[in-house]
Structure 1
């Protein structure tokens, strides 16, 4: 979440690099957690629902092509 709040942050750089190199690690559980966290009301003042859906959609787009799912 902090990656979305500041483009100057280290988390943003990590996420940007993962997208650029198309290397994302996830499981169904971590994707579900990401969605739940993104939609918390406390983030309404920082990001619109649309911005959060766009980000989550981008993660899912990579999931269709370039995901390495964890098995644990």
Structure 2
């Protein structure tokens, strides 16, 4: 993912939470996922080399990277 696409996504989404090197954004405007082209629910950016995600529900995930950060697009099942 290039810088322009990443910046457009993060400025268009609603910031949700930033804890322990993991930042989440809510997709309140139904932007399409760049991987599958379906609207996604949340954007999760893992900024640290190692991160742990505790999921409370089943999700489909699409994945990319930006500047050595893992970027996840969540889709509720």
TM-score (norm 2): 0.25
Instruction: Kindly indicate which of the two structures has a greater share of residues assigned to strand.
Output: 2
Which entry has the higher C-alpha Rg, 1 or 2? 1
Normalization by structure 1: what TM-score?
A: 0.26
Q: Of the two structures, which has the highest relative contact order with CA contacts closer than 8 Å and spacing of 6 or more?
A: 1
